[in-house]
């Protein structure tokens, strides 16, 4: 069974779906791997390393002709036409709406597996790319915040004077938020964190941060470990109660997202106006509208003296490790998708496993 890996073409995407190390492991299991020439260069993986690992280097349309095609990001409309009818495509497919690309995939009877739809169950933890990539995003967001903040993060004492630690607030204690807390603590910041799910308080405090506890009159705990959307009344109360905590912050990192919904507004313009000049907001929800309405997608802007960082692809800023983690997710997924036959590997019925069944795109 052959797998092909095309080069990512989305602007700013530096990751690659398989690394040489994971190619070697997959070829040892009986897969034939083809990699488009130059696919790994932006992540630091040269073509020669893939060849040494057992991959064939491909060019042009050949990189789309595998029985299984593996990508990081959703293909473009013209790229869908290069896929074999009935092939398997594995990628982040942004499946909240069935746009023209997804409709084209379904029309070609592509078995499209959206990595975003891998269920959050114990068996699937090693395949959960949302978690692996969010972990990296949380780390990189703190590095970005430190770069834009014009002061020290930790307490600094010298013969010339001392500086207090930065007060850093993390909004959202999911995978990205918890990694942001851990990273900020390692850098010596005074870290506070808030999440609408009461069960996260213990996790926040276990990392050495102080939990911000608000009484909203309802819980934000949803299914599968995700937060659910609050009522309009609870949202308004949340903004009001959070305002004073946020206005005191030097750095705010927001990670609050609800699947397939606009990002909740947690930082109002009034709060930004109250923050001291030179403060920083890193909005990880920028792609979904932002947790602050002043955030501009894929831009870094200064408003009311506060830097608002709206990057939407933090894993691409750490491409080697992001690619390695993602490739590990892919390898683990592939292992449940095939059986060994007399003449090699055979694709299973993807509806027979709860993981691949849940992750497949279907016509609405």
Radius of gyration from C-alpha coordinates of the chain: 22
Backbone angles phi, psi at 345, to 5 degrees: -80, 145
Q: Are 256 and 172 in contact (CB under 8 A)?
A: yes
Give residue 62's pLDDT. 96
Which helix or strand (DSSP H or E) is residue 297 part of? none
pLDDT at 81: 95
> Residue 342 in 3-state DSSP?
coil
> What is the pLDDT at residue 149?
97
The DSSP 8-state label assigned to residue 7 in this structure reads: P
Question: Taking residues 262-278, what's their average pLDDT?
Answer: 95
What is the rounded distance in angstroms from the CA atom of residue 137 to the CA atom of residue 338? 31
pTM greater than 0.85 (yes/no): yes
Q: Is the pLDDT of residue 301 over 70?
A: yes
Active site residues: 120, 125, 128, 131, 226
At 314 the pLDDT is 98
**Is the pLDDT confidence value at 225 over 70?**
no
**Confidence (pLDDT) at 222:** 60
3-state secondary structure of 167: strand
| Confidence tier at 221 by pLDDT (50, 70, 90) | low
Containing H/E element for 302?
Answer: strand 300-303
356: Cβ contacts below 8 Å, ≥ 6 apart: 113, 333, 336, 337, 348, 350
Give the other-Cβ count within 10 Å of 164's Cβ.
12
Give the residues across from 360 on adjacent strands: 113
pLDDT band at residue 237 under the 50/70/90 scheme: confident
Q: Does residue 218 carry a pLDDT above 90?
A: no
pLDDT band at 220 (very low <50, low <70, confident <90, very high): low
Give the CA angle between residues 109, 260, 238 to the nearest 5°.
Answer: 175
Residue range 128-157: mean pLDDT, rounded: 96
Burial 27-40 (b: 16+ CB within 10 A, else e): eeeebbbbbbeebb
Give residue 75's pLDDT.
97
Half-sphere exposure of 127 (CA within 13 A, CB side): 28
Architecture per CATH, domain 137-316, reads as 3-Layer(aba) Sandwich (3.40)
Which residue ranges make up each domain of the chain? Answer: 2-117+318-359, 137-316
Q: Say yes or no: do domains 2-117+318-359 and 137-316 share a fold.
A: yes
The yes-or-no verdict on residue 338 having pLDDT over 60 is yes
Say how far apart CA 306 and CA 280 lie, in whole Å: 6
- Residue 133 reports pLDDT greater than 70: yes
Report d(CA 66, CA 259) in Å as an integer. Answer: 31
Q: Helix or strand or coil: residue 337?
A: coil
CATH number of the domain at 2-117+318-359, please? 3.40.50.720
The answer on pLDDT for 228 being more than 70 is no
pLDDT classification of 238: cutoffs 50, 70, 90: confident
Average pLDDT score, the chain: 94
């Amino acid at each position: 069974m052959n797998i092909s890996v095309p080069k990512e073409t989305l602007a700013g995407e530096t990751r690659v779906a398989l690394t040489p190390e994971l190619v070697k492991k997959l070829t040892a299991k009986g897969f034939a791997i083809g990699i488009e020439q130059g696919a790994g260069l932006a992540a630091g993986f040269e073509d020669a390393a893939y060849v040494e690992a057992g991959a064939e280097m491909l060019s042009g349309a050949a990189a789309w002709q595998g029985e299984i095609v593996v990508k990081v990001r959703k293909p473009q409309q013209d790229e869908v036409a290069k896929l074999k009818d009935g092939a398997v495509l594995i990628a982040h497919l942004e499946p909240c709406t069935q746009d023209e690309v997804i409709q084209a995939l379904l029309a070609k009877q592509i078995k499209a597996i959206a990595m975003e739809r891998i269920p959050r169950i114990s068996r699937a933890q090693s395949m959960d790319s949302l978690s692996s990539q969010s972990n990296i995003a949380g780390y990189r967001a703190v590095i970005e915040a430190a770069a834009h903040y014009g002061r020290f993060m930790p307490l600094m004492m010298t013969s010339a004077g001392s500086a207090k630690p930065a007060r850093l607030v993390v909004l959202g204690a999911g995978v990205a938020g918890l990694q942001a807390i851990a990273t900020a603590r390692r850098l010596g910041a005074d870290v506070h964190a808030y999440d609408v799910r009461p069960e996260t308080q213990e996790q926040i405090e276990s990392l050495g941060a102080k939990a911000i506890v608000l009484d909203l009159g309802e819980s934000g705990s949803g299914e599968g470990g995700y937060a659910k959307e609050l009522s309009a009344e609870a949202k308004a109360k949340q903004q009001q109660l959070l305002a004073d905590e946020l206005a005191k912050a030097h750095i705010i990192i927001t990670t609050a997202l609800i699947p397939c919904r606009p990002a909740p507004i947690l930082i109002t313009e009034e709060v930004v106006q109250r923050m001291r000049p030179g403060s920083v907001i890193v909005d990880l929800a920028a792609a979904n509208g932002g947790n602050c309405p002043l955030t501009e997608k894929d831009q870094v802007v200064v408003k009311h003296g506060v830097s608002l960082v709206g990057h939407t692809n933090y894993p691409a800023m750490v491409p080697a490790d992001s690619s390695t983690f993602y490739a590990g997710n892919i390898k683990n997924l592939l292992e449940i998708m095939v059986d060994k036959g007399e003449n090699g590997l055979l694709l299973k019925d993807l509806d027979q496993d709860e993981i691949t069944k849940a992750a497949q795109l279907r016509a609405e």
